[in-house]
Amino acid sequence: MHLKTLTLRGFKSFASATTLHFEPGVTCVVGPNGSGKSNVVDALAWVMGEQGAKSLRGGKMEDVIFAGTTTRPALGRAEVSLTIDNSDGALPIEYTEVTISRTLFRSGGSEYAINGQQARLLDVQELLSDSGLGREMHVIVGQGQLDAVLRATPEDRRGFIEEAAGVLKHRRRKEKAQRK
């Protein structure tokens, strides 16, 4: 499984439709400060169902919609589509290519689609749940987070690793049980 394309339309600074093509392996996005690199990463998290405006570096969800510039008016909707190569069947769906789309309207409505069929957030979450992708899976390491790991105490660093490995929740449960 690998990401094939990501298309942004009216998402943050990407007013015009912009498609990024990814090959298997490592992709680097380079550009000057403020050029939209982190916005691309935000779009990835968002299309996979991110619900927290703060995780998307905004105050409210509407902030993901292109807010306009001096030369270009604000837009009424943000739309992101992510196409995943599923030829290895990693996603539990009978398609070798899966496109997840999310749209948010300034008027409030929000929509998801899987391969063009209207879907619920839950459907997107279930589709991604065992794939290692999606929300709370720690596949996205934000700007500044690496610094935090490097500066962390050995105990905190162990916490990061345990969290990534999925053992932290079990340790918390164990500690809770032992306190009783």
| Binding-site positions for ATP | 32-39
* Binds ligand ATP by CB under 6 A, chosen from 1, 2, 20, 37: 37
Site for ligand ATP in 133-152 (CB under 6 A): 143
Site for ligand ATP in 57-116 (CB under 6 A): 63, 65-67
Q: Report helix, strand or coil for 171.
A: helix
- Contact partner, 131, from Mg ion, ligand ATP, none, Cβ < 5-8 Å per class: none
- Contact partner, 39, from ligand ATP, Mg ion, none, Cβ < 5-8 Å per class: ligand ATP
Output 58 or 159, the one with its CB closest to ligand ATP. 58
Query: Is residue 131 part of the contact set for Mg ion (CB under 5 A)?
Result: no
Instruction: Provide the residue count of the chain.
Output: 180
Q: How far apart, in Å, are the Cα atoms of 80 and each of 114, 137, 162, 169? A: 12, 20, 32, 32
Minimal CA–CA distance to 100: which of 136, 61, 52, 134? 134
Minimal CA–CA distance to 61: which of 126, 118, 109? 109
* Binds Mg ion by CB under 5 A, chosen from 38, 125, 129, 131: 38
Site for Mg ion in 139-158 (CB under 5 A): 143
Please give the structure tokens belonging to residue 78. 């943000």
Return the number of other C-beta atoms located less than 10 Å from residue 133's C-beta.
21
Query: Is residue 31 part of the contact set for ligand ATP (CB under 6 A)?
Result: yes
* Binds ligand ATP by CB under 6 A, chosen from 23, 26, 30, 33: 33
Please give the structure tokens belonging to residue 77. 């909707």
Please give the structure tokens belonging to residue 144. 């500044």
Output 13 or 99, the one with its CB closest to Mg ion. 13
Output 42 or 81, the one with its CB closest to ligand ATP. 42
Please give the structure tokens belonging to residue 45. 């998290």
Mutual angle of helices 154-165 and 168-179, in 10-degree steps: 110
Q: Report helix, strand or coil for 65.
A: strand
**Residues near ligand ATP, by CB under 6 A:** 12-13, 31, 33-39, 63, 65-67, 143
**Residues near Mg ion, by CB under 5 A:** 37-38, 143
